[in-house]
Amino acid sequence: MEGQELPYVLIDCIGERHGVYEHHVGFLKKRFHLITMKEYLKNKAFLSKKISAIYMWYHKPAIHEELLQSLPNLKVVASSGVGIDHLDLKLLSSYGVKVSNTPFIVSTDTADLGMALMLASSRRLVEGHEMAVSPDTEYFPADWLGAEVSGATLGIVGMGTIGYKVAERAKAFDMKILYHNRSQRDKEEESAVGAVYCKKIDDLLQQSDFVLLSVNLTPQTSKLIGKRELELMKPTATLINISRGLVVDQDALVEALQNKVIKAAALDVTYPEPLPRDHPLLKLKNVIITPHIGSATTKTRWVMMEQMAESIEAGLAGLPIPREVLP
């Protein structure tokens, strides 16, 4: 309402490594009084009672109990993306703080990236590019071959929104689709993409040419894929991870790739991010790594920002919060 003070919203920073995008700031400043962490720490006595929401862009600012204790009027935390493993929901709830995220808008782009990684790995696009542009290349070897995607078997671990969108895309490649999930999808959904449910993950791992991970990170899925699971996979199989780095036992993955237990890996996520520059995964030719860009398109990031703003406005108005995450 005109003349009314805008709500004070805590952000990490503007621009820089983890900050709010500069081209998003104009939209947000029409709705909120943005306070950076630097500004907050400089003027804590005044701002601590003013701040009513936190705009958490890619896990920043980090939320811990000390911060919650210093913000007595905090009502809403809007977190970007789908993952919530960086938040202590029970702790936030104990302070009466509600949480939202942006789960659905990221699904299409993340599924697209999953397919891109599958294609890039199977057809050795990164290696091919390096060969094509190398000053040392005198000819293209005729026996430089990749693997087929069309007609291959894809095993999807985690058939939520993203996993299902991957299946829709894979169907266009005439892939045989297996999936493992906490619960089986209904028959109509399975039939629409030609997916077959594997109650046991072992069955999926043993049959798949490509294993794609699209699960949330929880205590149950941490290191879901370890030495045992990798050894169940075909020696010609590729592991694709578009979920969270910690879903895979990274040391076991390095060993499996070095010893040709599996053929290749294509990873949008690792732990930590980025990996130390001397990490063995960075030295392997049969690995493609992208910098956690599942939802990194201009349109999607803009809609994420709009949805976060919508959640904050609803929460501060006492209305139901869109995309609220319950503890």
Catalytic (active-site) positions: 244, 273, 292
Beta strands in the chain (DSSP E): 8-11, 33-36, 51-56, 76-79, 98-100, 153-157, 176-180, 195-197, 210-213, 238-241, 264-267, 287-289, 324-325
Dihedral sign (CA 242, 195, 171, 161): negative
CB 102 within 8 A of CB 123: no
Q: How many CA atoms lie within 13 A of 48 on its CB side?
A: 12
Whose tokens are 């862009």? That residue is 57
d(CA 185, CA 189): 6
d(CA 72, CA 260): 55
Sheet holding 33-36, edge to edge: 33-36, 8-11, 51-56, 76-79, 98-100, 324-325
